[in-house]
Structures are given as C-alpha cells and as structure tokens.
C-alpha cells in the first residue's frame, strides 16, 4: 500500500456523510462553458504538438524528478482539469518514445495522424463497447472486415476482428489452428497428450510472439521448429518440407506453418505462394504474420512480393504500423469464418441473441476472440481509410521503402559503414566498422537516441550487432536519413579517435612516457571514460 493512505479511514468516509452528500452529482462538468474552453485548449495543444513535432527532440531521457512525480499516492480529492492537463504537457508529453517524430526509426512503430487522433476522440466520446449488440459502431467494424477481405483477396466467408496488436492476432490464429487440428472438443476437455504431439514451423527470423502464442495455448513453445533461412532471410522451403516429414516419421502431428510478410529484423518476405502449396500438400494450417509488411499490398510496386498471401488460412497484421492508425489497431483475418467462430463463441444467458432489439445482430465480435468488452478501434481505422484512401497509404509505404534504398546507397557509398542485410522493404541493418564493433555500435545507438536527432535501435544479424533502422513514419524524409548517416559517422569517428588516443596513452604509460592522452582530454574538460559527453561534442561538430 502506498504510504500516506489509510484505507480504513477512506472506506469509513466513503460510507459516511461526506460522500453521500454528493450522491446527486454526476461526473460531468458543472460549468460546461469553461470546460469547453479548456477542451479546445487541450485539442489545440495536441494539434500544435503534431504540427511542430520537427522542432522537438525525437526522444529524451526522463529526468529523475519527473519520474518521481509518477510515484504519488491515490488521489482522493479532485484536482482542476487545467492543472492536470498542465502536468501532462510538462511531464508526460515531452518524454514519450517519440514515434510521432520523423526521426524515430527504431522498432516498427507507426507515426499516427491528426485524423486518427480526432477519430479516437470521437470514439472516446461515444464510449462504445464493441463486444456486441445491435449498434452502428459494429457496422463500422463489419465494413472494415469487408475492406480487409477485399484488400487481401480473402473470400466472403472470411471473418476479421480488431485486437490490440499482432501478438494477440497471432495468438488467436494459433488457437484456431490448434482447435482445427485437435477438434473443437479440446475447448471443453483442455489440452492433453494430443496437444503435446503438435508441431509448428516458422523461419529462424520469426517474431518471438509466435513462440509465446504456442506457450499460451498449451502446445508449448518447444513445439516450434525454427527453419533456416536463405541469403535473403526467407524461410528455406526445402528444409521446411524435410522438417515436417521428419516430425511425421517420429509420430508427431505438424499442424501449423507461419510465414512472414516482413520479418521484424530485416523485413524479409517468405515465399508465401510456396508455403501455401506446401501447406495444402501437407494439410497443415497456413498462417501469415504480416504485422507490418502485409499492408504493403496497397502499394502497387510492392504488392507482387506478397503473392500467396491471399491463400493463407489466417493473416495477422497491424493498422498501427504502416497503416499509420494511432495505437492500438491489430487485426486478425481468418479465411473460414465458421472455424473462427467455433473457436471462440460461447453461450451465456446474459449474452443471449434475439432477432430484434438491442441484443440482435448476431454474430457479435466477441464470438471471434477472447475479449467481451472491446473499444472502438474500428473507427480510427475507418476514418484513416476513408479520409486518406488506400492509394495515399500505399504511396507512403512505397516512399518509406524508397528512403530505405536511399539509406542503403549512402551506406554502400561510405567505406566506414557496412550493410548487414539485404534491404527488402523499409528496414536497413548496418554498422560502423570498428575494431570492437559490437560495443562501439551499441554505444553509438544509445548516443544517437540521446542526441534527440534520430532514434534507431539495434538487432543481431548472424551473431553480430547491427544498427537497425525501420522507416515506418510517413513524416520521415531524406533529411532524417542524412542526419542519421552524418551523426553515425561523427560518433563513430569520435569513438575511433578516443580509442586511438587511449591506446597511445596506454603505450606511453607502459613506456613511462608523459601521459599525452590525459592532457589532451583534460584540456577539453572531458573525461576519457565518458563516451556520452564525447559523442555530444562529436555530434554538435558533425
Ligand atoms: C513481424 C512481427 N510480428 C509480430 C509483431 C508484434 O506486433 P505487436 O507489437 O503489434 O503485438 C511485430 C512487432 O513489431 C512484428 O514486427
């Protein structure tokens, strides 16, 4: 219990006269006029934030005193809305991860749009619960289901559902595939011996949430066979076929192959048509993890790379990544809606469906996933698709890939930099060449993030650390790519110089010579071990 709260006292007061005296009050404002003024002020602040995002640092560390503000006790008494908003502006807004900023290029995060933000506000005002019932918000979600079928070439029988993100969408797909393999009776009887015989397959480049999904549904993450990839980080189909055969020979039951449409590390797209053929031959469920890459289908220059996606039994992806819909807006599409519904529908008296009235409109979204209470994620997606149209979203997706190729050309044209993986889509992995390269590049990325100019992340390619640049944000331009390359070079050179100076100092010390390095550093008012300060100097010079 946080210090400073006496809950016994709190409960006593709650039951007493202090609280009952206010029983007639609602939580709506007493003075709508001044509330409206404050509301407009808050809206303006967020529009200003987005409009002027380029003037801010991408990211900055949270100062200790700011962090400490979020360790307070439960507020028992009211505060002024404007004061709480002020707190947000001063202590929350400046310290977000920064994915609205065009310099954010670490991890696969979408940039959001002002349109999506406004739609979120409308959804919150409506406070709709999209678990079920006969209401227009569910018609909006059904409209998006229809659009996703069209976009991905799925049949009318396909069903779809908004979820938090692709981790959850993948979990839903794995559960459907499990139930199809074992029979829907497993929902009642629970997992047993049969489940332990199930095996699943994906490439070594698969996202970690697939193993987690197998774990959560009782199959176990050890059932996942990680198949080697080719030189373009795509699953090796021959090795996949052999692994399935080997497991069959051992008396196991292969039930699922997960293909990647844009791997998290390098953006590789598996041969989806090849996997579809193999799954049909083997009678195995074909799921596609298309977390961010699947939406490349709306970009005419990229769509052919996704050939075969239309043959998947299920497809998971996020509108909140390349689709630029504000967080969160994950999505699962299942080819056979009956199987999808059989996996999740339950019958409870309080959820009884009728022909007319508010309880009409079956099936409900809650029949297709684990959630009963669900927010109106469909609205911000519907707004985004209607206001921008898929052509504009496709153009953004193509442009981010074009920027990735531009970055690739800058890397290959700079001898100090090394490209670490082929550039398939919008992800570029590279590093600064150095003796102690893993350590140097790791520090370099932290310094880049702390510089506030650009924020890439790291990954490991072939056991070597790489700087990973995922260009997802529609605001990113060549200016940010140039800033990334120039800053990387400045920092890398500064590290090299300090390493050389360190070596010289060591040699001098060993030779009992005067300590030239310490004198040099001291003259600049810095310490040899402080790479951050060294790199800040390097950045401001570069
Ligand atoms: C390929 C892939 N799969 C799954 C996920 C998980 O998606 P989410 O973060 O929406 O749960 C990601 C996230 O980046 C991803 O890139």
CA distances 387 to 106, 325, 381, Å, are 28, 12, 10
Chain mean pLDDT for the chain: 91
Residue with CA closest to ligand 1 atom 16: 264
**For residue range 192-212, what is the model confidence (pLDDT) as tens digits?**
888 889 999 999 999 999 999
Quote the ligand 1 centre to 14 CA distance (angstroms).
44
CA distances 428 to 228, 287, 317, 423, 540, Å, are 21, 26, 21, 6, 25
* Residue 444, pLDDT score: 98
- pLDDT of residue 389 exceeding 80, the answer is yes
* Residue 507, pLDDT score: 81
Quote the ligand 1 centre to 168 CA distance (angstroms).
9
Q: Given pLDDT bands bounded at 50, 70 and 90, which one contains residue 519?
A: very low
pLDDT above 90 as % of the chain: 83
**For residue range 270-296, what is the model confidence (pLDDT) as tens digits?**
999 999 999 999 999 999 999 999 999
* Residue 22, pLDDT score: 63
The shares of helix, strand and coil residues in the chain, as percent rounded to the nearest 5, are: 50, 10, 35
Say how far residue 356 (Cα) sits from the centre of its chain.
40
- Nearest one of 296, 291, 298, 299 to 321, comparing CA atoms: 291
Q: Torsions phi, psi of 334, nearest 5?
A: -120, 125
Quote the ligand 1 centre to 290 CA distance (angstroms).
8
- pLDDT of residue 542 exceeding 70, the answer is no
Q: Write out 389-408 in H/E/C secondary structure.
A: HHHHHHHHHHHHHHHHHHHH
Which segment of 3-7, 220-224, 432-436 scores lowest on mean pLDDT? Answer: 3-7
Determine if ligand 1 sits within 6 Å of the CB of residue 265.
Answer: no
* Angle at CA of residue 312, ends 311 and 316, nearest 5°: 140
Which segment of 160-174, 237-251, 391-405, 525-539 scores lowest on mean pLDDT? Answer: 525-539
Three-state DSSP class for residue 8: helix
Give the number of the atom of ligand 1 that is nearest the alpha carbon of residue 263.
1
Q: Which among 109, 164, 167 is the best mutation to test ligand 1's pocket, defined by most ligand atoms within 8 Å of the CB?
A: 167
- pLDDT of residue 19 exceeding 70, the answer is no
Determine if ligand 1 sits within 6 Å of the CB of residue 330.
Answer: yes
Give the number of the atom of ligand 1 that is nearest the alpha carbon of residue 260.
1
Determine if ligand 1 sits within 6 Å of the CB of residue 171.
Answer: no
What DSSP designation does 386 have?
A: H
- Nearest one of 495, 468, 158, 127 to 339, comparing CA atoms: 158
The continuous run of DSSP H or E covering 368 comes out as none
Contact 138, 406 (CB under 8 A): no
Q: Given pLDDT bands bounded at 50, 70 and 90, which one contains residue 540?
A: very low
Q: Which two tokens stand for residue 322?
A: 């390349």
- pLDDT of residue 171 exceeding 80, the answer is yes
Separation of alpha carbons 37 and 83, rounded Å: 14
Q: Write out 451-481 in H/E/C secondary structure.
A: HCCCECEEEEECCEEEEEEECCCCCCCHHHH
Q: Given pLDDT bands bounded at 50, 70 and 90, which one contains residue 15?
A: very low
Task: Render the burial of 56-70: b for 16+ CB within 10 Å, e for the rest.
Answer: bebbeeeeeeeeeee
* Residue 302, pLDDT score: 98
* Residue 208, pLDDT score: 97
Determine if ligand 1 sits within 6 Å of the CB of residue 289.
Answer: yes
Q: What is the DSSP string of 258-326?
A: EEEBS-TTT--B--HHHHHHHHHHHT-EEEEE-TTGGGGGGSTTTGGGGTTGGG-SEEEEETTTTT-PP
93 half-sphere exposure, CB direction, 13 A CA radius: 16
Which segment of 5-14, 215-224, 236-245, 259-268 scores lowest on mean pLDDT? Answer: 5-14
CA distances 349 to 62, 346, 355, Å, are 49, 10, 15
Task: Give the mean model confidence (pLDDT) for residues 148-166.
Answer: 98
Determine if ligand 1 sits within 6 Å of the CB of residue 427.
Answer: no
* CB neighbour list of residue 530: distance below 8 Å, 6 or more residues apart: none
Residue with CA closest to ligand 1 atom 12: 291
Contact 157, 180 (CB under 8 A): no
**For residue range 108-146, what is the model confidence (pLDDT) as tens digits?**
999 999 999 999 999 999 999 999 999 999 999 999 999
Q: Torsions phi, psi of 513, nearest 5?
A: -85, 170
- pLDDT of residue 530 exceeding 90, the answer is no
79 half-sphere exposure, CB direction, 13 A CA radius: 10
Q: Which among 107, 205, 264, 293 is the best mutation to test ligand 1's pocket, defined by most ligand atoms within 8 Å of the CB?
A: 264
Beta bridge partners of 300: none
Q: Given pLDDT bands bounded at 50, 70 and 90, which one contains residue 512?
A: low
Separation of alpha carbons 219 and 182, rounded Å: 11
């Amino acid at each position: 219990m946080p210090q400073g709260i006496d809950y016994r006292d709190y409960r006593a007061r709650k039951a007493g006269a202090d609280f009952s005296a206010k029983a007639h009050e609602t939580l709506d404002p007493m003075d709508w006029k001044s509330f409206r003024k404050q509301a407009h002020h808050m809206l303006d602040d967020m529009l200003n934030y987005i409009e002027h995002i380029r003037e801010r640092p991408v990211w900055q560390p949270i100062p200790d005193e700011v962090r400490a503000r979020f360790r307070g006790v439960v507020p028992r008494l009211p505060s002024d809305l404007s004061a709480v908003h002020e707190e947000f502006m001063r202590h929350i807004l400046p310290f977000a991860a920064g994915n609205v900023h065009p310099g954010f290029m670490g991890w696969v995060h979408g940039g959001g749009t002002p349109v999506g933000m406004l739609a979120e506000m409308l959804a919150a005002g409506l406070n709709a619960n999209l678990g079920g019932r006969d209401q227009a918000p569910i018609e909006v979600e059904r409209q998006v289901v229809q659009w996703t079928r069209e976009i991905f070439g799925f049949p009318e029988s396909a069903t779809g559902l908004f979820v938090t993100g692709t981790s959850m969408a993948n979990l839903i797909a794995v559960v459907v595939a499990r139930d199809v393999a074992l029979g829907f009776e497993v929902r009642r009887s629970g997992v047993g011996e049969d489940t332990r015989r199930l095996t699943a397959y994906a490439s070594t480049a698969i996202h970690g949430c697939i193993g987690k999904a197998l774990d959560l549904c009782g199959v176990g993450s050890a059932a996942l066979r990680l198949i080697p990839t080719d030189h373009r980080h795509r699953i090796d189909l021959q090795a996949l076929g052999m692994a399935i055969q080997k497991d069959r020979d051992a008396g196991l039951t292969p039930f699922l192959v997960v293909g990647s449409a844009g791997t998290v590390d390098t953006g590789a797209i598996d041969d989806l048509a090849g996997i579809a053929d193999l799954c049909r031959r083997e009678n195995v469920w074909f799921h596609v993890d298309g977390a961010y890459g699947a939406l490349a289908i709306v970009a005419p220059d990229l769509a052919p790379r996704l050939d075969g996606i239309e043959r998947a039994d299920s497809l998971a992806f996020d509108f909140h990544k390349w689709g630029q819909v504000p967080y969160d807006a994950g999505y699962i599409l299942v080819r056979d809606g009956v199987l999808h519904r059989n996996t999740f529908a339950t019958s409870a008296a309080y959820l009884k469906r009728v022909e007319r009235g508010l309880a009409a409109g079956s099936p409900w979204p809650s029949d297709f996933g684990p959630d009963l209470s669900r927010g109106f994620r469909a609205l911000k997606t519907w707004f985004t698709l209607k206001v921008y149209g898929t052509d504009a979203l496709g153009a953004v997706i193509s442009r981010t890939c074009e920027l990735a190729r531009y970055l690739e050309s800058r890397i290959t044209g700079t001898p100090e930099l090394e490209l670490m993986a082929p550039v398939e889509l919008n992800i570029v992995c590279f590093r600064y060449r150095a003796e102690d390269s893993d350590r140097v590049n790791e520090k370099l990325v932290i310094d880049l993030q702390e510089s506030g100019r650009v924020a890439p992340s790291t990954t490991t390619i072939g056991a070597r650390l790489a700087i990973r640049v995922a260009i997802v944000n529609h605001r990113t331009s060549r200016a940010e790519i140039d800033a990334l390359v120039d800053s990387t070079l400045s920092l890398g050179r500064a590290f090299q110089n300090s390493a050389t100076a360190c070596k010289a100092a060591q040699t001098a010390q060993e030779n009992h010579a005067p300590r030239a390095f310490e004198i040099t550093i001291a003259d600049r008012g810095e310490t040899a071990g402080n790479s951050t300060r060294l790199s800040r100097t390097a950045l401001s010079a570069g």
